[in-house]
Chain A
Amino acid sequence: MSHQELLSPEGFRYDGRRCNEQRNFNLELNTHPHAADGSAICSMGNTKVLSLLRGPTDSNDSGLSLSVSIIQPPYAKSDRVQVSKNDRRFAELSLMVQRTLLQSIVQKAYPRTNINIKLTILSADGSILAACVNSATAALVDAGIALYDTVTAITVGIHDISPLIDCNAIEEIDLPYLTIGTISNSKINLLLMESKTPLDKLQKMINLGTEGCIQIRNQLDIAIRKSAIKH
């Protein structure tokens, strides 16, 4: 009972947002023009992910090989994160990001090609996978990789019967939540949920998540345009 109230009867979340309000979202492309072929920083609230892309470069494999790695430097670790446990966790997440992105790249345009994306978690406050996907997508765009369309992702938690969009770390600890990613016309190409939830609630969460992804997509478009004007 000593737990914080994550959603008040009046509809306010612990940090003052309402159920369907995203956190402060920020996306910047081409942040490290000299260090990488494509770069971006995506922040969702206090979660901040930098992505650095190298490629396309030649490879010996027949098709496109996309490699994704996620690291979290020590200074970005918050108190609740344990290092050893996270290595495997990050390996899992990078695989998820890799598979999600692969579907959006026009693969036949890149035979015998390597693309390497390095994701660095600069600070963590929930929705890490979603921020990684958004940041990596932006880096792909920045590097000029041919895409069918952009993938954007967000998390949705559920408090009793109310879905909560864009969860922060406190919400993720106590609530069942999913990460959803969609590509053009709300086609879902990423859905990760690690706790049990009844089916009827899942639908509600997916609906809100799909809407959230569209909003992120709009913000991604704005960021792309902004970066295009700059250069």
Chain B
Amino acid sequence: MTTTAAVGGKRKRVSSGLYVSQKVYVKSRNGNATKIVREHYLRSDIPCCSRICENCNDFYKPGPNGQIPNPILSESPLDLKSLNIGKHYILVDTNIVLNAIDILENDKVLYDVIIPQTVLNEVRNQSYPIYLRLRTLTKNEDKRFVVFYNEFNGETYIPRKHGEIINDYNDRLIRETAKYYNNHLSEYNIKTILLTSDKANKELAQRENILSFTLNEYIDLLPNSIELKDMLPSTENFDKSINEIKYSEYYSSARLMGGIKNGSLYQGNITISSYNFLEGNVNVNNLPKPLLILGRENLNRAFNGDQVVVELLPKNKWKKPSSQIIDEETINKNELGDNDEDEVLISDKERRLLTQEAIKEQGKDNDDENKIMPTGRVVGIIKRSWRLYVGQLSPNSINKDTDLISNAPRNVFVILMDKSLPKIRIRTRRANDLIGKRIVVAIDSWNSNSKFPSGHFVRTLGEIEDKDAEQEALLLEHDVEYRPFSKNVLSCLPKEGHDWKVPENLDNGDIQLKKRRDLRDRLICSIDPPGCVDIDDALHARKLPNGNYEVGVHIADVTHFVKAGTPLDQEGASRGTSVYLVDKRIDMLPMLLGTDLCSLKPYVDRFAFSVLWEMDEDANIINVEYFKSIIKSREAFAYEEAQIRIDDEKKQDDLTKGMRILLKLSKKLKRQRLANGALNLASPEVKVHTDSETSDPNEVEIKKLLDTNSLVEEFMLCANISVARKIYDSFPQVAMLRRHGEPPATNFELLNDMLRLKKGLSISTESSKSLADSLDRCIDSNDPYFNTLIRIMATRCMLAAEYFASGNFSYAEFKHYGLAVDIYTHFTSPIRRYCDIVAHRQLAAAIDYEPLHEIHMDKSKMDLVVKNINKRHRNAQFAGRASIEYYVGQVMKNNQSDQEGYIIKVFSNGIVVLVPKYGVESLIKLEVLGDVNSSSFDESNYSLTFVDKSGNKRTVSVFDKVNVSIESVLDDFTGKRKVQLYLK
């Protein structure tokens, strides 16, 4: 379906200042043309948004949020005294926004910018992500970007001429806007410059007496132009000179769509292997297993995470997944020959037959000798996953003798921190400055004649290995929003600030306050990790006269302060979670709430959301109640403190007695849970100790678990389950829940095969109960750690848990496999997780405390929320791990040591070893192990034989316990410090 706008009609007066004209479209569908007429209103009350202008004062009218907008463009914008330009605003065309959004966002340049509506709409149609960034800019008070509705303004709207192509028409609309601004503000001596990358448009503008430049020309006029020039997007100029490779061109979009429809092509997201950047796989709907994509040619410029279209390769090209580790470094040294086999032409029909074969092949029992898998190649890209990337200049790409002297722009490569991505070619004048720095780059294009994508420099983070630079790099790489909260967000906080208090008079006419239950007489305490300041939860228990127990879980009442739909709420929803790095916490909500007003600190009154159970001696739930409350925590314990207090028999006060009840009940809860088949999985959780003064990391240890850890955990699980049932009951379509799918048995195939072969053991995956039981049986009597090792490896075979809106799954699918419960949610940490905030609001509505805001009732909006928090949650986990990895590397710098490790993976050219003491795992490549040429790889036995450095023949295989020496090395290539292991 296509629409073409044709000529617009006459104007007709509606009321003073409002005229209507007609826009006529011709819409063609299946060869039939239909005429559509739409009204188009033209107004005379659209403000220019300049602070200096007095003519537009009456035109600022309240927007959808009820607020009256303010003029934004500065009264004294940038003044270029040279060239007779003087004070000026900037008006940009669509291509400038699409190609140079980074520089528009840069805070060194381009203030007071006018975005015509025409440009805004074009950007929206061409790239929604860039549109969102542009919209963010218009909300940023410092950059002063305004949208001017030129097509609704009677003075700047012009109808399309007969036969005029749309691009020319849009250019004409934009020039008309520039003319209008120049006229409108001439009395104030402020000019408006049109920035365009279109030569013809520039000439036309100049002919119409509009100052117009390309972005390059304009930047040249600025005093800090040299520094800024690097940030300009790369243009075709350096791709023309390059002819390194010939990737196959992507299919036309018509062919892609047709192919997907008729089943000869597939669409999916591509994942590039983290061990081999030339191997990817695509999850395809029709095939039971992901389709393998091997080699540079077949990957055909796809980036990790891109939405791609693939076609199957002929059967004689189906292959095993590579058992090799390949990264760019290896390739760079020794160019891998992608063999140019002749293109085989296959018809669509044959491709569909091939699909049948592929399904058959994948369905086969993998105990077969041949593990050949269907392969495919990328023939089109629907959506790029491109974002800003962090990396460093490749040391090889600069000729130190000649290049460092000259200041001429030249092409250099940037190696990205993410090893599954190719290096990026950028053009810079400042290669000498940038060497040894962490830098941010953006990708502009990847043409079929260029082996590598082209991009441009965005900014410097700092020296490589500098703590702050590395931290920022890590946050950027994991897409964590770490900038301070905006004014808009902070304005939603209570005006009293830290002086906010629970009202003394509970009967002050506030209906909601009256609904709160006063629990300040209960002996409530909180138990958290040492040094915790954002206290989400607190507990209490007491014996009831009937012999049962009253147990209360009290959660910080964050939604009392964070009202749905406010900027504060939107910020929380977009951050999704707090992110915990080794020595830094990136908050989801401003500090005032997280560490003070919401935090259930001891000795002060706080609002809470309480779940109150009556439990019998065996921890069976007799009754449950939910209500908002006022509490006063008596003490904030660290886990260890709480443990000591409980164990100290001399303490017989009521608070301690209550804690003992909690401990007793929690043990029963845990027993029940494990009996039901809850999994006790393990992942090596490491804590990095930092020097309290210099905050330099100096020790790594595995976290230990006390009884009091699981005390809190059991009651939180219990609360989450109870709340999940309640909100699902009230909102069957949109309840915010969390599920953990049953892992497909195929996930455990490899681990099971290794166990059977090496240890004569097996894991059953029939149910979580049988998995839990079979994990208990995986014991090596000579090695107590073996069981933990298997648990770590089993954890990696599991699916990830995910948030979802209840309407998207059937009740049977709600199941949380790991916890072995039928329904689950997150309710207990609203300070640091957004899911919990939604659960709080839904629970509040379920108990008639306050009505549910429609954003949590609308299924499509809930789907967006869920999608985002799932992504944020994952990113936060990765960022946390990466942070630990960085610090472990730093600690090892001074602590070279010998340790025990376990082999957990064997490749033909290397092994992966896990060191339990530090929770680190690392690859040892064959060339580090010994002689590359004399090695032999026994794939079916998961073992590798080689001659080591001292000339001895050695065979290692999976699960072997080995002695390794640990060192920390700085990878010249990526600038990442990492742990390197050497086999002893």
Contact = CB atoms under 8 A, between A and B. Distances in A.
Contact of A11 (B18, B37, B62): B62
A144 interface: no
Find the residue from A12, A17, A45, A197 having the highest chain B CB count within 10 A.
Answer: A12
A8 B851 contact: no
Interface in B703-744: none
Interface string B116-131: 0000000011001000
B102 interface: no
A9 B63 contact: yes
Contact of A200 (B18, B149, B151, B851): B851
B64 A24 contact: no
A168 B135 contact: no
B41 to A, nearest CB: 3
Nearest to A14: B38
A78 B851 CA distance: 41
B39 A79 contact: no
Contacts of A45: 20, 39
Interface in B376-402: none
B34 A11 contact: no
A24 B20 contact: yes
Interface stretch (A86-94, A128-136, A156-164): A156-164
Most buried by B among A18, A170, A199: A18
Contact of B61 (A8, A18, A170): A18
A6 to B, nearest CB: 11
Contacts of B149: 8, 10, 12, 16
Contacts of A46: 22, 37-39
Interface size class of B (residues with CB under 8 A): 35 or more
A168 B36 contact: no
Contacts of A168: 38-39
Contacts of A161: 64-65, 565
B64 A11 contact: yes
B39 A24 contact: yes
Given A10-B63, A79-B34, A16 B41 contact: yes
Contacts of A16: 40-43, 149, 151-152
Interface residues of A, number: 33
How would you classify the secondary structure of chain A's contact residues: helix, strand, loop or mixed? loop
Nearest to A200: B851
A160 B851 contact: no
Contacts of B40: 15-16
B867 interface: no
A194 interface: no
Contacts of B147: 8, 10
A229 interface: no
B152 A12 contact: yes
Interface in A1-60: 1-2, 5, 7-12, 15-19, 21, 23-24, 45-46
Contacts of B408: none
Interface string A176-214: 000000000000000000000111110000000000000
A149 interface: no
A10 B854 contact: no
A125 interface: yes
A12 B121 CA distance: 13
A198 B27 CA distance: 36
Contacts of A18: 61
Nearest to B27: A79
Contact of B36 (A21, A79, A159, A201): A79
Contacts of B41: 15-17, 21
B69 to A, nearest CB: 7
A94 B867 CA distance: 44
Interface in A146-169: 159-162, 168
Interface in B62-114: 62-65, 69
Contact of A198 (B64, B69, B854): B854
Interface string B635-648: 00000000000000
B64 A125 contact: no
Nearest to B13: A24
Interface string A44-86: 0110000000000000000000000000000000110000000
A9 B27 contact: no
Nearest to B43: A16
Given A12-B152, A15-B41, A16-B42, A24 B12 contact: yes
B857 interface: yes
B851 A198 contact: yes
B14 interface: yes
Contact of B39 (A15, A160, A199, A200): A15
A1 B128 contact: yes
Contact of A7 (B12, B64, B135): B64
A185 B175 CA distance: 50
B3 to A, nearest CB: 11
A198 B850 CA distance: 13
A11 B61 contact: yes
A171 to B, nearest CB: 11
Contacts of A23: 14, 20, 39
Given A24-B14, A79-B27, A198-B857, A19 B64 contact: yes
A20 to B, nearest CB: 10
A11 B63 contact: yes
Interface in B135-168: 135, 138, 147, 149, 151-152
Nearest to A160: B64
Given A16-B152, A198-B857, A9 B42 contact: no
A117 to B, nearest CB: 27
Contacts of A1: 128
A221 B64 CA distance: 32
Contacts of A197: 854
A1 B151 CA distance: 22
A2 B131 CA distance: 11
A2 to B, nearest CB: 8
9 contacts: A1-B128, A8-B149, A10-B63, A16-B40, A24-B12, A46-B38, A79-B27, A160-B64, A170-B38
Given A15-B39, A125-B39, 4 more contacts: A7-B64, A16-B42, A16-B151, A23-B20
> Which 9 residue pairs of A and B lie closest in terms of their CB atoms, listed nearest first?
A16-B41, A16-B152, A11-B63, A162-B64, A79-B34, A198-B854, A24-B14, A24-B20, A1-B128
